[in-house]
A and B are shown apart, each in its own frame.
Chain A
C-alpha cells in the first residue's frame, strides 16, 4: 500500500514555496508588532512599569491613650518586637527554625506551621514567626545576626492595658477587623487591621484610631525596598479621658476577684460612671498578644462567660429593690405613707397563699421598706394593679436602653397586660401582679438600669441621667478638647414632700436596727438603699440554702445612694448566687461609699499634667485637624 517509489510530488513542492512566503510575511508582521511596542513605544511602557514598582506601605497611627478621670493610664501603647523570617535569605529552613525554637522555647512544629501557612506568599514577604519578643530574646536574636541573616526583629506598637483585668469590660479589647466591619467602614479600615471590638475601644474607635499614614516605596524585581518616594505621616488618635475613678473601680474588682456579679457606681447628678465591673473578668491584653489556645479555651470554657458584660447584658428580677419604686407608685396614686398593713408572715391573694420572709406586725411605708415586708407591698400592689406598676417602672427607665456609651444593652422587661397578650398570647393573670409587687415575676432589669433608676431617686429634682463613660477627648496635637454633652435630660416629678417619705424608708434600711442592710451602715455617711434577692429556683426552704449547690442559691442585690442630703454617689451591686443582698452586696456598697465620700470630691482630671506622658508626635503641625472625632460623641468645646 505505501508508495515505495517517488510519486509526482511537484504540486507539493510548489506549495512549499507558497508556505515559505506566507510564513515570512507572518514572521515579519510579528516582529513589526514587537518593534512597535518595544522600540517605538518602549519609553511609554517603561513609565507604566515604573508605576507598578511603587508600593504603598501603611503606617498605623498611634492609638489614643485611655485615662481614668484623674489621669491614671488605663490603656496605652508600648513598643513590641516581632520576629520575622525572610525566606529568600534562608539557607537551611530546618536549621533556622530549630535555632528559633531553642531560643524562644517553642515547639518547632508551631513555627513550621506558621511558615506553611504563609507558603503561598512570594519569598520576599516575611513570615511572622513570633510576636512580642522580650528584650532578652531581641538581644539573643541580634547577637546571631551573622549566622542567621534571615531572622529580623521588627519594632511595632502594641496596645497595653496597664491595669490588666481591671475595668476590662468597659475598656473592651482590640481584634482584627471582620469583613463586615471593613465593609461598614467603607475602605477606612485595612484588612488585618486591629480595631476596637468591645467596650469604649469599639464605641470610640474613630476617635481613638487616628488616621493612618503611608510610605511610598520603590521596589526592585525582588520586592526589596530601593528608595522611599514619599511619606504621609499618620495623625495620632485622640486621648480619651473616661469618667471612671480607678480607685473605686479597684475596690470593686478586689471584692469580686473570686465572685460572680456586677457593680455600677455613678454620679447621680451627671450620670458619670465612676466604676463599672462585671465579674468574672478577662485580660484584654490577651487579645493584643494574639490569643493562645489555652488562654482562649480558659475564657470560652468558663460557664460564667467572662467576655459577657453583665452590667448591660444580663437582666434579672429586681427583687425587693423594686419596692423603692413601688413606694413612688403608692404615693403618687393616692396612698398615704402612714397607712398600715398587718403582716402575719403570710396572706392570701386571688385564692393563693403568699408568704413573707418574716412576721413584721403592723407596718407603714417607711417600716415596710426598712424591713422589706412583702405583705405590705402585696397589699398595695393588688390595689394599684399591674398597669400603674408598669407605668411607674417605665418612668424610672426600666424596659428601655439607658443610652450608655458602651454598645448594645439588654432592655429587660416591664410586664403589663398588653405585653402578656403580645408576647405570651394570653391575658395577664392578676395573681402575677402580687409577685411583681415585690420585684419578682416577669419583671426584668439590668444593673445599669437599676443604677439609673436609683439616680432618679437620689436626685431631689428627679433627674434621670444618661449613664456614660466619655468624659473628655483631647486632640494631642492641637490640645483641642471635647467634653461630654448630655442629651436632653429626663426627669421624674416629685410632688412636694413625696421623695422624703421614700428616702426615709431607704435611709432606715441601712441606718436603723432591723433595717436589712444595717450591718453595712457607715457613721456620718447616711447611706440610703434597698436590698433584694432573686430566686433562682422556686419556693424552697431558705434555711437550707447553705446546703444547696452554689448555682442554685439566690442572687443578691443592693442599690443605694449617699449621702442622704445632696447625694453624690449611686452604687448598685449584684452578686450572682450571693443569696442575700444584705450579706453579699451591701458590704461592698458600704466600702465604695466610704472610699468615695470620705476622700472628698476629687478634683477634675489632671489633663495638663498627663499630656506630657504621651510620646511626642512626629507629625508636622497641620492648620486644621484632618478628621473630627466621632460625630456621634456628644461634645462641646471648652
Chain B
C-alpha cells in the first residue's frame, strides 16, 4: 500500500489530470452562470455529478491494462455498435433525433459518445498490426470502414455534431499510420467529392447552417441569428469580460443553447479575451501532453491510442470554438469537459482514462 502511494503520482500523469480537472471546473462554473436563476439551475449540480462519474470511469480504465482492451477491441467495437443499430430501429425521438437510450427515472445515455472509445481502441489495434512505414491498402480500407460504420449509424439518427467528432480519428490514423503521396491525393479527391455530394444528403436545417455560415447576413432572424448573437456575446466580452453571471447576451436568452454547444461564447462574454486565452491554452497544453505521452508509450498500439484520443478531443474542442465565433458552420458539437451533458462529459473523461492507462504502463518492465 505504501509502495502504491509512492508509485501512483509518479506513474499517473498528474499534469494531464490537472488540465482536465481545470477544464471541468471551468465548465461547471459556466453551467452555474448560464443556468442560475432559471428553472434549469439544477443542471450545475448534475454537471458536478457527471464530472465525478467521469473521474471514476477514468480511474477504472486506468486500472485495466490497455493492452487487454486493444486485444479485445474488435469484440468491444462490435458490442458497442449494437447500441447504435438499436437506436434507429427502437429508439424514441428526442428533439428530432433518435440519439438517446432511455432508462428508468429520467436517466438516459447517448451511445454515440461512448462508441468513440471503442472505435479509437479498434483503430489503435488495426494500426498496431500494420507497423510498416506506410499503411497497406487493406489497412486503409479497414480504418475507413471502422470509422464509417458508426458515423453512418449516427448520421441516420440524425446527429451530425457527434458524427463529425469521428473524423479526426481517420485523419489521425492515416497520418500517423503513414500514407504514400498517391493515397493522400486520392483521399483529397474522394474527400472533396464526398463533401460536394453530401449537399444532396444533408437535411434542410443543416444546409441552412452552411448557407448562413457562408453568408451570415442571409437570415437576420433565422439560423444566421444564432451565429450573429453568439458573435455579439463574444465580441462584447472585450478583453476582461463582463464578469461571472453578468453576461447579458447569454443570460437574457440571446445566446442559443448557451450551457451546451455555445458555452464557449458565454465564457468569452463573461471572462473576455483573457478567459478565451486561458481555455485555449489549457487545450494546447492538453495536446502537448498527449504528444509527450505518445512519445513515451511503450508500444505502437499505446502511442496510436493516445494520439487518436488526444487529437480527437482537442480537434473537437477547436471545431467547437471555431464554430462559436462563426469560423466554422454550426453543428451540434460539444466542447469537451466544458459543455453541459452527461454522456459527453463521461465519455471524454473515459478517453482521458485510456490515455492515462497508456502512460501508466509506459515502462516496459512493469
Contact = CB atoms under 8 A, between A and B. Distances in A.
Interface of A: 1-9, 11-13, 15-16, 19-20, 23, 26-27, 30-31, 33-35, 37-39, 41-46, 48-49, 52-53, 87-88, 119-120, 122-124, 219-223
Contact of A39 (B133, B252, B273): B273
A223 B237 CA distance: 18
B294 A52 contact: no
Nearest to B303: A12
Given A7-B300, A53-B248, A123 B38 contact: yes
Contacts of A53: 248, 252
Contacts of A8: 131, 133
A-B residue pairs, 4 tightest by C-beta: A45-B235, A49-B236, A42-B238, A221-B251
A38 B303 contact: no
Contacts of B298: 6
Contact of B325 (A9, A16, A26, A37): A37
A88 B251 CA distance: 14
A46 B240 CA distance: 13
A16 B287 CA distance: 11
Contacts of B254: 52
Contacts of B325: 30, 33-34, 37
Nearest to A219: B252
22 contacts: A1-B129, A2-B67, A6-B364, A23-B314, A27-B283, A30-B318, A30-B321, A30-B322, A38-B276, A39-B238, A42-B237, A42-B238, A45-B232, A45-B234, A52-B229, A52-B248, A88-B37, A119-B39, A122-B253, A221-B242, A222-B251, A223-B252
Given A46-B238, A220-B248, A37 B322 contact: no
B235 A38 contact: yes
Contacts of B303: 9, 12
B209 interface: no
B81 interface: no
A342 B294 CA distance: 125
A45 B231 contact: yes
Contacts of B236: 42, 45-46, 48-49
A37 B176 contact: no
A222 B41 CA distance: 13
Contacts, number: 147
B27 interface: no
B178 A11 contact: yes
A46 B272 CA distance: 12
Contacts of A1: 129
Interface residues of B, number: 61
B300 A12 contact: yes
B280 interface: yes
B131 A3 contact: yes
A38 B70 contact: no
A15 B327 CA distance: 27
Contacts of B364: 5-6
Interface string B68-81: 00110000000000
B120 interface: no
The listed residue with most B CB atoms (<10 A of its CB), out of A23, A26, A53, A119, is A23
Contacts of B314: 23
Nearest to B321: A30
A18 to B, nearest CB: 8
A31 B277 contact: yes
B211 interface: no
A221 B247 contact: yes
The listed residue with most B CB atoms (<10 A of its CB), out of A6, A20, A42, A220, is A42
B245 A221 contact: yes
B126 to A, nearest CB: 12
B128 interface: yes
B284 interface: yes
B180 to A, nearest CB: 12
Interface string B279-318: 0100110011001001100111101000100010010001
Contacts of B327: 30, 33
Contacts of B238: 38-39, 42-43, 46
Contacts of A35: 273
A5 B299 CA distance: 7
A75 B254 CA distance: 43
Contacts of A87: 39
Contact of A23 (B37, B129, B178, B284): B284
B300 A3 contact: yes
Given A3-B300, A221-B245, 8 more contacts: A3-B131, A6-B299, A20-B291, A33-B325, A34-B325, A49-B232, A49-B248, A223-B252
B11 interface: no
The listed residue with most A CB atoms (<10 A of its CB), out of B41, B128, B235, is B235
A438 B242 CA distance: 86
The listed residue with most A CB atoms (<10 A of its CB), out of B39, B295, B311, is B39
A21 to B, nearest CB: 11
Contacts of A44: 235
A113 to B, nearest CB: 16
B175 interface: yes
The listed residue with most A CB atoms (<10 A of its CB), out of B67, B176, B245, B283, is B176
B299 A34 contact: no
Contact of B276 (A19, A20, A31, A124): A31
B263 interface: no
Interface in B240-265: 242, 245-249, 251-254
A124 B251 CA distance: 11
B17 interface: no
Nearest to A223: B252
Contact of B239 (A42, A45, A219): A42
B268 A19 contact: no
A8 B131 CA distance: 8
Contacts of B295: 13, 16
B237 A38 contact: yes
A14 to B, nearest CB: 10
A541 to B, nearest CB: 70
Given A9-B300, A23-B287, A38-B235, A52 B249 contact: yes
A48 B234 CA distance: 11
Interface string B332-366: 00000000000000000000000000000000100
B131 A7 contact: yes
Contacts of B176: 12, 15
B233 A49 contact: yes
A23 B289 CA distance: 13
Contact of B301 (A2, A23, A124): A2
Nearest to B288: A20
Nearest to A7: B131
B268 A34 contact: yes
B38 A49 contact: no
The listed residue with most B CB atoms (<10 A of its CB), out of A20, A35, A48, is A48
Nearest to A35: B273
Nearest to B71: A2
A191 to B, nearest CB: 18
B287 A34 contact: no
A37 B300 CA distance: 42
The listed residue with most B CB atoms (<10 A of its CB), out of A31, A38, A88, A120, is A38
Contacts of A119: 39
Contacts of A11: 133, 178
A429 B167 CA distance: 87
Contacts of A52: 229, 232, 248-249, 252, 254
A367 B170 CA distance: 109
